[in-house]
Structure 1
Amino acid sequence: MTDRPPVAAGPPSADDPTAAHRQVLARRPVLAVLLGVAVVAAGLVWLLWPTPAGPVVLTAGSDRHSVRLTVDQPRVGAAGAWLVEISDPAGQPVSAPAVRVDPVMPRMGHAIAPLTATAQGPGRYRVDAAALPMAGEWEITVAISGADGPDQVVFPLLVSG
């Protein structure tokens, strides 16, 4: 047998870098699990967040037109029917040869194909089954073609999951 001094038992010293490294490595699985739980919880909150109980009604205008846009369900997927009502500055309904709705998500660089609205009556147009593929802030442009030239009115629309 060789004579060796006894090894002192106790906590690792602050000067021992390998002990500190072992402590960090021991905490990694716990931190990974906590981060995963937080991400899942945030996703569930986003998906289950309540949306308005009825349709969203937005109003905007230009120099020539006042436009009211009604969205049945501002949620990801089929948002139901959209109703577009167009009037002149005096409040009289405007019948346009063509009305188009262009949904764009500028912050994410997304856009869906323009949707053609069908006339429902004087100044009233409808888009059926407009589907928005992503939650977030969308810009909905109502493009009006008329005898006095084209016009556009832009609406902000917040879509939930």
Structure 2
Amino acid sequence: MKYAGVCLLVAGVLFAVVSRWLGGGPESVQAAGTRYTVTVPVDPVEVRVTSGKAETVTLAAAMPGMGHALPPVGTVQAGHGRFVATENMFAMDGVWELSIILSGDQGEEMITISMLL
């Protein structure tokens, strides 16, 4: 029975990888916290604050399955509610967790999303 779960997990990851390779992967990931809502295009890394007014955005990426964690990266504002990473965020393809730390007039909040690259 435990092998069935592992097989389903592997099948899901393979489906996502093949879909992305063939151009069928998600173009962006959306997430909501209590103070802010964001949309993150998969490539390039940009945070679009769609609800709430963030003044600063910091990003931290981790690849838990591989034991990788990268130091936080700052962003620059590229328009109203748009923040672009100042450095390359991802060292390799795979499943990453992106922590988005937003700060503004509504306080500070961290929103974490999973992305397949």
Compute the TM-score of the two structures, normalised by the length of structure 2: 0.70
For residue 96 of structure 2, the aligned residue among 131, 135, 138 is: 138
| CA deviations over 1:78-110 (Å, ceiling 9, x no partner) | xxx31211122xxxx62x231011111123221
In structure 2, the CA distance between the partners of 1:131 and 1:145, relative to structure 1 (3 Å rule), is closer
For residue 21 of structure 2, the aligned residue among 51, 58, 67 is: 51
**Rg comparison, structure with higher value:** 1
Query: Once the two structures are aligned, what percentage of the paired residues are identical?
Result: 29
Name the residue aligned to 1:66: 37
CA distance in 1, matches of 2:60, 2:84: 13
How far residue 129 of structure 1 moved from its aligned partner, in angstroms, is 5.0
Name the residue aligned to 1:97: 55
The runs of 5 or more residues in structure 1 that have no matched partner are 1-48, 73-80
Residue pair 1:100, 1:143 contacting (<8 A) in 2 also: yes
Q: Could you say what secondary structure the match of 2:71 adopts?
A: coil
Residue pair 1:65, 1:87 contacting (<8 A) in 2 also: yes
For residue 113 of structure 1, the aligned residue among 71, 75, 79 is: 71
CA distance in 2, matches of 1:62, 1:145: 12
CA distance in 1, matches of 2:48, 2:83: 6
| CA deviations over 1:60-83 (Å, ceiling 9, x no partner) | 1111111000022xxxxxxxx312
Compute the TM-score of the two structures, normalised by the length of structure 1: 0.53
Residue pair 2:61, 2:89 contacting (<8 A) in 1 also: no
Q: How many residue pairs align between the two structures?
A: 99
CA distance in 2, matches of 1:131, 1:86: 19
| CA deviations over 1:24-62 (Å, ceiling 9, x no partner) | xxxxxxxxxxxxxxxxxxxxxxxxx56253873000111
Q: Name whichever structure is richer in strand by fraction.
A: 2
Name the residue aligned to 2:109: 151
| CA deviations over 1:119-159 (Å, ceiling 9, x no partner) | 01121111255242233211011110123321111111112
- Calculate the aligned-residue CA RMSD, in Å: 2.4
Instruction: Give every structure 1 segment of 4 or more consecutive aligned residues whose post-TM-superposition deviation is greater than 4 Å.
Output: none
Residue pair 1:82, 1:128 contacting (<8 A) in 2 also: no
Q: Could you say what secondary structure the match of 2:21 adopts?
A: coil
The runs of 5 or more residues in structure 2 that have no matched partner are 1-17
